[in-house]
Amino acid sequence: DKAGHRHFMAKEIAEQPVVLAEALSRYLRPDGSLTLPEPGLDFANLDRLVLIACGTGHYACHVAKYWFEQLAGLPVDIDVASEFRYREPPVPARSAALFLSQSGETADTLAALRYCKGKADRLVAVVNVTESSIARESDLVLPIHAGVEIGVASTKAFTCQLMVLACLALEAARARGRLTGSEDARLVAALRALPGLVHQALDIEPEAERIGRKLAEARDILFLGRGRMYPLALEGALKLKEISYIHAEAYASGELKHGPIALIDDSVPVIVLAPHDELFDKSVSNMQEVMARGGRVLLVSDRKGAEEAGTGVWEELAMPQVDPVWAPLLYAIPAQLLAYHTAVAKGTDVDQPRNLAKSVTVE
């Protein structure tokens, strides 16, 4: 049942304010304390966290690496499961390994989990399907509470994965004594504001639809982001490729001049994901480098960002103001809506893209 939407993907994008509020309420109590299912995780006594997933889930882990390292001072390794399992890396003492999977059945992720058995101190599963192999074989299961996801391209599972990882990073920061009382209060309030902000961000839909019609004419599209927004650039490019079949690539903005700038001309839209955060000035100079070469920049930012970016951008999408730490959760919305409307404009099969399966149970 698409509940009046044209596609399951559209329905699942629209559901995000509700499922995010649900996910948050399962982990964050009204008094601001966090609850983890038994046996919990002793972050104070961990030296390293290993985050393993495939596809979109890997990008959620990539965002979480910034959170765990910056908020909790906890070193994090991330990898895609297919590389991790065959590289057979050493798993250090005092480490936990976390396997993130919407379906809980992805073959490579399950194999990576089995490799870590008896090596990592604790095996953690972050899953949507709690009756899954990955959940069954882990010590600690953290459900993301996204509800059934039918669209092959992951949307609400991605943001709910981020929500659970955000709560975990907050818990780690507390356990490791990294937050002052006021920082803690600020982060909690900002996390609580997110479902409402996501609801507000969905208002860009008519604009995303208009811009999507223009993007549909492109052959190649570049996504740029810095810091916590780099994994979102990767996710935006993946989503667009999957459902519109337009070639898209993502780079960390600082990598632009190390190669990809050679691709820039007026036929390549460049989508810059840049909330007004501590790295915004750097993103502006990258945008100027693109525009100086005739590149067409679509800036996804907030009001302050749009003001400071000045003139010369091709298109803009204005997002609500958000705490920069949790911004990746909010900027998933424009990434999803741009991919969706570009695909709809091209007339592709949004819910069942060619060659893709919802659950990848073979290598």
**Catalytic site residues?**
358
Phi, psi of 250 (to 5 degrees): -125, 145
Minimum distance from CB of 359 to ligand F6R (Å)? 6
- Binding residue (CB under 6 A) for ligand F6R from 34, 107, 216, 360: 360
Q: How far is the CB of 223 from ligand F6R (least distance, A)?
A: 15
CB of 140 to ligand F6R, least distance (A): 17
User: Closest approach of Cβ 266 to ligand F6R, in Å?
Assistant: 30
- Number of shown-chain residues binding ligand F6R (CB under 6 A): 15
What is the pattern of x (binds ligand F6R, CB under 6 A) and - over residues 96-135?
Answer: -----xxx--x--x--------------------------
Kindly report the CA angle at 55 between 54 and 59, in degrees rounded to 5?
95
Alpha-carbon distance of 346 to 32, in angstroms, equals 45
Q: Give φ, ψ of 197 to 5 degrees.
A: -70, -35
C-beta closer to ligand F6R: residue 56 or 244: 56
CB 123 to ligand F6R: min, Å: 15
Structure tokens at 220: 């190649």
Pick the closer one to ligand F6R by CB: 322 or 335: 335
- Which among 225, 269, 258 has a CA at the least distance from the CA of 62? 225
CA distance 150 to 154: 9
153 is a contact residue toward ligand F6R (CB under 6 A): yes
For Cα atoms 96, 30, 196, give the angle at the middle one, nearest 5 degrees: 90
Could you give the residue ranges of the DSSP H alpha helices within 52-204? 55-72, 81-87, 107-116, 133-136, 156-175, 181-201
Q: Which is nearer to ligand F6R, 230 or 280 (CB)?
A: 230
Residue nearer to ligand F6R on the CB measure, 293 or 358: 358
| Interaction mask 230-269, ligand F6R, x per CB under 6 A | --------x---x---------------------------
Q: DSSP letters of 209-240?
A: HHHHHHHTT-SEEEEEE-GGGHHHHHHHHHHH
Structure tokens at 100: 């993130």
The contact set with ligand F6R (CB under 6 A) reads 54-57, 101-103, 106, 109, 153-154, 238, 242, 359-360
